[in-house]
Amino acid sequence: MKKLPLSYYQQTDVVALARDMIGKLLCTEINGVFTSGIITETEAYNGRCDAACHAYKRRTKRTEIMYQNGGLAYVYLCYGIHSLFNITTNAEEMADAILIRAIEPVSGVEHMMERRNKTSVNKSLSSGPGSLSKAMGIELAHNGEKLDGNSIWLEEYRTIESADEIVSTTRIGIDYAGEDALLPWRFYLKNTPYISKK
DNA sequence: TGCTGGATTCACT
DNA sequence: GTGAATCCAGCAC
């Protein structure tokens, strides 16, 4: 399998890209441990017209990552506990990003269980943005990591046969964004238990 | 320099 | 179903 090039992430339509990312393989190799999983759930965030995006009308030290060229990991801490993993997209100055919310484990499942303190495999292993980051070993230190490097990357995995396989709906946990919270910018794979919420 | 609250999860009632 | 855990960026003084 081949890593997706940085140019993949630099496409301009972040919503279409979030949809396209469903079914790709997310791989990490951290401290010599390789793990991978199929992306089953994503959310798109647009820096220019979306109040839910951290970079919306705010250009700060934290959001600076999103203003760079697409193809970087944007990792940040939520509720003081959970590292949420995003992928920046689009060109420089275009602060778009895609939040990866859930994966279906493929390789290194035993390492994911160890990181998550689990004794059995089930959907709670990697469904939900905080759980997924922990299972894959992604931490704040990976903020700004390039996705064509040797720590975190994406690969082609399976092709989505028809549009019916992907469900689009509203995003989660962003009520503060007013009417932008109603945008149908969350995508997930139909018929997989590995999603955070129905 | 100090305070506030969040793209959540998990354990417990 | 509810609440606690927990830390740092952002913004107000």
* Residue pLDDT, tens place only, A38-80: 999 999 999 999 999 999 999 999 999 999 999 999 999 999 9
Q: Measured between alpha carbons, how far is A72 from A149 in angstroms, rounded to an integer?
A: 10
Mean pLDDT over A2-19 rounds to 97
- Do the Cβ atoms of A53 and A47 come closer than 8 Å? yes
Statement: residue A153 has pLDDT above 90: yes
Statement: residue A160 has pLDDT above 90: no
Q: Which tokens is A172 given? A: 């989660």
The confidence band for A163, taking pLDDT boundaries of 50, 70 and 90, is confident
Q: What is the pLDDT of residue A197?
A: 78
Instruction: Please tell me the number of Cα atoms within 13 Å of A94 on its side-chain side.
Output: 17
Q: Is residue A79's beta carbon less than 7 angstroms from any atom in nucleic acid strand C? A: yes
Q: What is the pLDDT of residue A158?
A: 82
Q: What is the pLDDT of residue A139?
A: 95
- Do the Cβ atoms of A108 and A35 come closer than 8 Å? yes
Q: What is the pLDDT of residue A71?
A: 97
Instruction: Give distance CA A61 / C1' C11 (Å).
Output: 13
Instruction: Give distance CA A78 / C1' C5 (Å).
Output: 12
DSSP-assigned states of every residue in A22-81: TTPEEEEEETTEEEEEEEEEEEEE-TTT-TTSTTTT---TTTHHHHS-S-BEEEEEETTT
Statement: residue A120 has pLDDT above 80: yes
Q: Is residue A57's beta carbon less than 7 angstroms from any atom in nucleic acid strand C? A: no
Q: Measured between alpha carbons, how far is A121 from A92 in angstroms, rounded to an integer?
A: 40
Neighbours of A80 (CB within 10 A): 5
What element of type H or E holds A186?
A: strand A186-189
- Do the Cβ atoms of A40 and A21 come closer than 8 Å? no
Q: Is residue A2's beta carbon less than 7 angstroms from any atom in nucleic acid strand C? A: no
Chain C: nucleotides under 7 Å from a protein CB?
Answer: 5-11
Statement: residue A162 has pLDDT above 90: no
Statement: residue A86 has pLDDT above 80: yes
Q: Is residue A143's beta carbon less than 7 angstroms from any atom in nucleic acid strand C? A: no
What element of type H or E holds A7?
A: helix A6-9
Statement: residue A178 has pLDDT above 80: yes
Q: Shortest CA distance to A109 belongs to which of A39, A35, A30, A41?
A: A35
